[in-house]
Amino acid sequence: MEIIQGLLIILLSFWMVIDQQGLVIVTWFPIMVALFAGLIMGDMQTAMVIGGTFQLMALGVANIGGSSVPNWGLAALVGIYVAIRTTNNIEEAKAVALAVGVPVGMLGIQLDVLAKILNSYVAQAAQKALNERKFKKMNHILMVGPLIFGLSTAIPTALCVIFGDKIVNVILDVVPQWFTDGLSIAGNMLPVVGIALLLQVMPAKKYLTMLIIGFIFSAYLKMPIFGISLLGFALAYYFFTTNMKKSVASVNNESVDFDEGDEFDE
Amino acid sequence: MSNEELVLTKKDINKAAIRYMFSACNIFNYQTQQGPAIVFGLEKSLRKIYPDDDDYVASLNNHYKYFNTTTWMANIILGASLAMEEKDGTDSLETVQAFKTGMMGPLAGIGDTLIWVLYPTIMGSIAAYMGLEGNPTGAIIWLLFNIFFVFFRIKLFSIGYDSGLKLITSLGDKLSVFTEAASVMGLTVVGALIPSVVKINTGIVFKTGDVEMPIQTEILDKIMPALLPVALTILIYKIIANKKMSVTSIIFLVIGISLVLSFFGVLTV
């Protein structure tokens, strides 16, 4: 059973990177990886808590324009596997997942860069095959690309599956309580990094009102996130319809005055 | 060579869409970026358009050139490119190249914001919040949306094939308003995240004589709920904006400080 779980986790890590860069169904977003890892490991609750923590760290991390970012999906995956194998309660699981996941996620950057460098050779070889009129060969060469990307996550995952839980078990026996507590505290604070990064790429200053509205409904009124999303959708819909009308009207008549007390007006 | 009759069927178009969507960034390299992936995606359809080997090679060499945009938006561009090549054959190659390079910038601008920032922010926030309570519902909803979008993107490819350039220009204005509206929703959700998912508790207790006063419940919580998470968010926001520290070192700094403060009992779980 443990061997099958280990194999499935490695396969999932192979697929998630190819999927994220291609079809985008499973994706490498931590909470989605956690969904499948939870199914494989048979412990959805722990997987979701760890996935949620890494998901929040990953919020502002978009790999736009082919830039390389920490692979928080990989971090969540190996974190979940090792934590479920070695711990018995959620707080400890979070601490272990963080201790194993963060370094592996960082390593993910290097391997991503390496994969993109190796793919230069794949591209050149494929184009060479084309010019030699070996069309079948060209197609086969092109398939090496996804293989490289898949291995770039499957290899570190395999190492964690084979050695990770043994090492962590030894460590857990010797580290003091304050250390695992400290890691748990870090796990609760790190989502801030994701949120802060996100605020840099979104128009946070322009729509500070929305940020505060969301905060008030959550902090003071304790509204669940689904309700707040609906509220956000309502505001967005209002914004969209009024601005679409404006842009249509301004095309028709430049001199119309639009001062209708619209709070989104800049 | 010029083809007057259409040779591609609906099935060919969908096949090209799926092949491209699979390869998308999976043959990504620093020189030509998504170029090879486009060759992989389109080559079956192009073979039908160009039965002659020379034309086929010329067309594929054209597609091997640098290309990079949001992969979901690329479906429109590639569908349109395929339509052009089917209509004009190798005469269209220069136009196809100019069209592709001209469109990839603007579409990436809007596409990256919508697809790689706003969509995962909104879905990820909801899913992560529910996940922290051990609830997979949010993740399952996100998965269902992704499956829906796969079909939508296959459709986008044929829309590109059918109407191409016309569509992109007519969508232009609407898309930017749409992007702004999505930001409004995204920021409302992000505002809600700070107090609900970031947990910081101090274990310090003030003692004067017989009176004990836990700072967290008696002082901080009374000023404002989630005061420490808000303060930390503003602090980290400023540090990142300052750009003197990399995100990686900020992460390790947070972990390091957590360990130290945990050791002295300043912060508790």
pLDDT, tens digit, 9 for 90 and up, residues A127-173: 999 999 999 999 999 999 999 999 999 999 999 999 988 887 777 77
**DSSP code of residue A24:** -
Rounded Cα distance between A96 and A84, Å, is 9
Do residues A191 and A57 make contact, with C-beta atoms less than 8 angstroms apart? Answer: yes
pLDDT exceeds cutoff 70 at B2: no
Contact present, B47 and B132 (Cβ < 8 Å): no
Do B57 and A123 lie within an 8 Å CB cutoff?
no
- Model pLDDT, residue A83: 94
Q: What is the pLDDT of residue B1?
A: 44
* Burial class of residue B248 in the structure, from the number of CB atoms within 10 Å of its CB (0-12 exposed, 13-18 middle, 19+ buried): middle
CB < 8 Å from A in window 148-167 of B:
149-150
Tell the residue number behind the tokens 């078990």, with chain if given: A169
* pLDDT band for position A253 (cuts 50, 70, 90): low
A74 burial level (CB within 10 Å; 0-12, 13-18, 19+): buried
Distance CA B177, CA B260 (A): 47
**Residue A263 three-state SS:** coil
Q: Record the pTM.
A: 0.82
Q: Do A123 and B64 touch (CB under 8 A)?
A: yes
Which ranges of B50-164 would DSSP assign to H, the alpha helix? 53-63, 71-88, 93-111, 119-132, 137-163
Average pLDDT, chain A: 86
In DSSP terms, B214 is beta-bridged to: B205
Minimum distance, in Å, between the CA of residue A52 and any CA atom of chain B: 4
CA distance B83 to chain A (A): 22
Question: What Cα–Cα distance (Å) separates residue A112 from each residue in A115, A261, B135?
Answer: 5, 50, 31
Alpha carbon distance B162, B86 (integer Å): 12
Q: Which two tokens stand for residue B61?
A: 């060499």
Q: Does B227 touch chain A (CB under 8 A)?
A: no
Say whether residue A135 is in contact with chain B using an 8 A CB cutoff.
yes
Which one is predicted more confidently, A189 or A15?
A: A15
Give every CB contact of residue B257 below 8 A, 6+ residues apart in sequence: none
Q: Is the pLDDT of residue B85 over 60?
A: yes
Cβ–Cβ below 8 Å for A23 and B150: yes
